[in-house]
């Protein structure tokens, strides 16, 4: 990023009408971390803290139009990719990234909502693995998502997590952050695996039901760090600290009747 330039990040994902995840969580995170956020909306969801009641996919040609409008004008420092539910959508995004030569790409392979609702069709998994993983600077699957991408069982310990992260590297991303939030134990441990080795990122497990949008928020916080010029490991560590504080402060919010959101603006209000 040039000296004095405004850091800009773009989220390519689905909209969450409840405001806790997806595009809305990404833009809140960018703003909280001092980054200007732009967006490419790939799908609309009818969603709240209790679950997803409908998904309306944006046509692939209009996703392309949004990508070209944003990247032809804005000096984008990093891209975060979230929910892409169809093969045509994934292909449009992959083609757009190539056309605009985007290199700092954080891919959150959103497949299942916190409520358990499936967000990615079966036929889209292979397309995501083949077209987008090779373009990613970082892929951030949770344990169920890593298992789906690899067509294997969910990792039961850190050794299995590490093995699955290394297996995902063979599909072409520069790095993998495999997240242990779905595991058990007093600590929630994420593992960042890249060519330079393994970085273990533990954090105390926080007892709260307000976990809606945690994966979206973490990946967009990493993209915000990259947009500001931070090296990958530094961006990941800072994002882990941010999401841990956002989860810890989530019970100060009273939002909805189900899984509420994390507190994106915990440092401000």
- How does pLDDT run across 104-158, given as a tens digit for each residue? 999 999 876 555 556 677 788 889 999 999 999 999 999 999 998 998 999 999 9
User: Quick one: tokens of 44?
Assistant: 């609309």
User: Quick one: tokens of 228?
Assistant: 């500001």
Q: Which of 74, 124, 80, 81 is nearest to 100 (CA)?
A: 74
Helix (H, G, I), strand (E, B) or coil at 234: helix
Q: Which pLDDT score, from 0 to 100, does residue 188 have? A: 83
Q: Please report which confidence band the pLDDT of residue 6 belongs to, taking 50, 70 and 90 as the band edges.
A: very high
Q: Tokens 């504080």 — which residue?
A: 245
User: Quick one: tokens of 265?
Assistant: 């603006």
Q: Which pLDDT score, from 0 to 100, does residue 183 have? A: 60
Q: Which pLDDT score, from 0 to 100, does residue 4 have? A: 74
Angle of the 60-71 helix axis to the 87-99 helix axis, nearest 10: 20
Helix (H, G, I), strand (E, B) or coil at 166: helix
Radius of gyration, alpha carbons of the chain: 17
Percentage of the residues of the chain whose pLDDT score is greater than 70: 94
Q: Please report which confidence band the pLDDT of residue 11 belongs to, taking 50, 70 and 90 as the band edges.
A: very high
Active site residues: 179, 211, 213-216
Q: Which pLDDT score, from 0 to 100, does residue 124 have? A: 87
- Does pLDDT of 267 surpass 60? yes
How many Å apart are CA 255 and CA 128, to the nearest integer?
33
DSSP state of 253: -
User: Quick one: tokens of 195?
Assistant: 């060519």
How many Å apart are CA 250 and CA 213, to the nearest integer?
11
Within 8 A by CB and 6+ apart from 47, the residues are 16, 17, 18, 21, 22, 53, 113
pTM of full prediction above 0.75: yes
Q: Which pLDDT score, from 0 to 100, does residue 232 have? A: 97
How many Å apart are CA 269 and CA 264, to the nearest integer?
9
How many Å apart are CA 220 and CA 39, to the nearest integer?
12
């Amino acid at each position: 990023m040039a000296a004095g330039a405004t850091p800009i990040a773009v989220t390519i994902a689905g909209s969450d009408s409840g405001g806790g995840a997806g595009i809305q969580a990404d833009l809140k995170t960018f703003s909280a971390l001092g980054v200007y956020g732009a967006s490419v909306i790939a799908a609309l969801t009818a969603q709240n803290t209790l679950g997803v009641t409908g998904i309306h996919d944006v046509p692939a040609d209009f996703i392309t139009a949004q990508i070209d409008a944003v990247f032809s004008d804005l000096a984008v420092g990093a891209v975060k990719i979230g929910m892409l539910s169809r093969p045509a959508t994934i292909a449009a995004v992959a083609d757009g990234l190539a056309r605009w030569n985007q290199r700092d790409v954080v891919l959150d392979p959103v497949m299942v909502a916190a409520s358990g609702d499936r967000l990615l069709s079966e036929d889209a998994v292979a397309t995501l693995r083949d077209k987008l993983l090779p373009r990613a600077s970082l892929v951030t699957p949770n344990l169920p998502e890593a298992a789906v991408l690899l067509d294997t069982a969910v990792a039961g310990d850190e050794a299995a997590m590490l093995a699955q992260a290394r297996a995902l590297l063979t599909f072409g991303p520069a790095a993998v952050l495999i997240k242990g939030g779905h595991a058990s134990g007093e600590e929630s441990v994420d593992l960042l695996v890249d060519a330079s080795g393994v970085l273990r990122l533990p954090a105390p497990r926080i007892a709260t039901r307000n976990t809606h949008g945690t994966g979206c928020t973490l990946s967009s916080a990493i993209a915000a760090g990259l947009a500001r010029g931070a090296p990958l490991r530094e961006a990941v560590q800072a994002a882990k600290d941010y999401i841990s504080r956002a989860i810890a402060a989530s019970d100060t919010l009273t939002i909805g009747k189900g899984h509420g959101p994390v507190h994106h603006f915990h440092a401000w209000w």
